[in-house]
Amino acid sequence: YFASVEMAPGDPILGLTETYLADPRPGKINLGVGIYVDEQGRIPLLPSVHEVENALAAAAKPRGYLPIDGLAAYNRLTQQLVFGEASPLLAAGRVATAQTIGGSAALRVAADLLKQVGGAGAKIAISNPSWGNHHVVFRTAGFELLEYRYYDPATHGLDFAGMLEDLGRLEPGTVVLLHACCHNPTGVDLDATQWTQLIELLKERKLLPFVDMAYQGFDRGTEQDATAVRLLGESGIEAFVVANSYSKSFSLYGERVGALSMVGVDRDEAARLQSKVKQVIRTIYSSPSTHGAALVAGVLGSSELRARWEQELGGMRGRIHAMRAGFVEKLAALGAPDFGFINRQAGMFSYSGLSKAQVHLLRDEYAIYALDSGRICVAALNQANLDTVAAAVAQVIR
């Protein structure tokens, strides 16, 4: 029955990790990962989360099904975090929100629904480059994929003029996928002025903004990192979509906690969107899981725990900034050409500017693993490996 089934290509990032694990060299370093690890190289269990978890274990509650769109308190608290507590959109009842299985399912559920709306001609524009799953998810849902200019290798920054030019040419109704902050894989973001300008264009051209926010709080804080969503909310735009993830901000990768929020023109439209989101979820996984949502809602729903979580999140963010600064400083001390752009990039990832050949040299000669694109995970740097990595990079770029 399955004789005709071919082997699907492996995930390049997971493949790299396998090669890393099989590497017998002592002192090997993996900068290819996509998770935040602490100074000791471990995935943190945030104390605020742990406290809620202990309380949940003690309460020993039964595990019934959640509603199709998830835990109500989680959705309400998510709306406040993503759109801001004073958001006029929330006051007007214009937002439909559903708990999803990570940010990934938010993308997939939205893709299915937007494909129903967009029909045969559904198109989405994705930044060049972007997180690989963006392409796969929307292609699988039946979208035609378009690309817009984003990263400028010459400056290691944003090609904003190219971005506006490409987006300005899109047909009305095209979905535009945007990274709210901490762009994966480049680390290159828009500033508030650029967001304002971009949103004007999206509005004028009748494009549908789709904001993927997987790293809220990893650059400057939960409020500042949601600038794109805040500005969209104030812009008077009729509709937009937000997929958010708590995988990184709560260090809850395996609990699969995320949400999809769809903004409609009024309360009635939001109610219809909510019903459609539920319909799509029912056909894929019926309802989301309980534990992760209870953890997030437990933290966000207590002002004391929420304040502690903000601090813990600030700790992760602070360490990332320190590693960026340390890396730039050490490379400068080694006489390498200017790597200051690493300080201007945001979040866990950085497009280091290393070529594929240099990445391979790093791996072969120094047992330091990075992606072929030159993407490194800054969070995988620590005080113990910073000197080694900087020295090796200084060698391979010679």
What residues are labeled active site? Answer: 131, 212, 248
For residues 247-276, which are near ligand PMP according to CB under 6 A? 247, 258
CA–CA distance, 209 with 232 (Å, rounded to integer): 9
Q: Which residues pair with 259 in a beta bridge?
A: 99, 244
- Would you give the DSSP letter of residue 98? E
For residues 129-168, which are near ligand PMP according to CB under 6 A? 131
Q: Is 347 left (phi over 0), alpha (psi -120 to 50) or beta?
A: left
Instruction: Pick between residue 99 and residue 104 the one whose CB is nearest to ligand PMP.
Output: 104
Report the residue from 70, 102, 118, 288 that binds ligand PMP according to the rule CB under 6 A.
102
- Would you give the DSSP letter of residue 155? T
Number of residues that bind ligand PMP (CB under 6 A): 12
What backbone phi and psi angles, to 5 degrees, belong to 362? -55, -40
Q: Kindly state the smallest distance separating residue 216's Cβ from ligand PMP, in Å.
A: 11
Q: Kindly state the smallest distance separating residue 247's Cβ from ligand PMP, in Å.
A: 4
Instruction: Pick between residue 326 and residue 374 the one whose CB is nearest to ligand PMP.
Output: 374
Report the residue from 99, 186, 227, 245 that binds ligand PMP according to the rule CB under 6 A.
245
Report the residue from 184, 249, 289, 358 that binds ligand PMP according to the rule CB under 6 A.
184
Instruction: Pick between residue 75 and residue 184 the one whose CB is nearest to ligand PMP.
Output: 184
Q: Kindly state the smallest distance separating residue 220's Cβ from ligand PMP, in Å.
A: 17
Determine, following the binding rule CB under 6 A, whether residue 34 of this chain makes contact with ligand PMP: yes
**DSSP of 279-309:** HHHHHHTSS--SHHHHHHHHHHTSHHHHHHH
Give yes or no for a contact between 398 and 334, defined as CB atoms under 8 angstroms apart.
no
- Would you give the DSSP letter of residue 344? H
Q: How many helices (H) and strands (E) does the chain have?
A: 15, 13
Give the CB-nearest residue to ligand PMP: 102
Determine, following the binding rule CB under 6 A, whether residue 289 of this chain makes contact with ligand PMP: no
Q: Kindly state the smallest distance separating residue 59's Cβ from ligand PMP, in Å.
A: 26
CA 191 to chain centre: 17
3-state helix, strand, coil in the chain (%, to 5): 50, 15, 35
Instruction: Pick between residue 216 and residue 385 the one whose CB is nearest to ligand PMP.
Output: 216
Q: Which residues pair with 241 in a beta bridge?
A: 210, 262
- Give SS3 for 206: coil
Q: Kindly state the smallest distance separating residue 45's Cβ from ligand PMP, in Å.
A: 17
Determine, following the binding rule CB under 6 A, whether residue 187 of this chain makes contact with ligand PMP: no
Binding site for ligand PMP (CB under 6 A): 34, 102-104, 131, 179, 184, 212, 214, 245, 247, 258
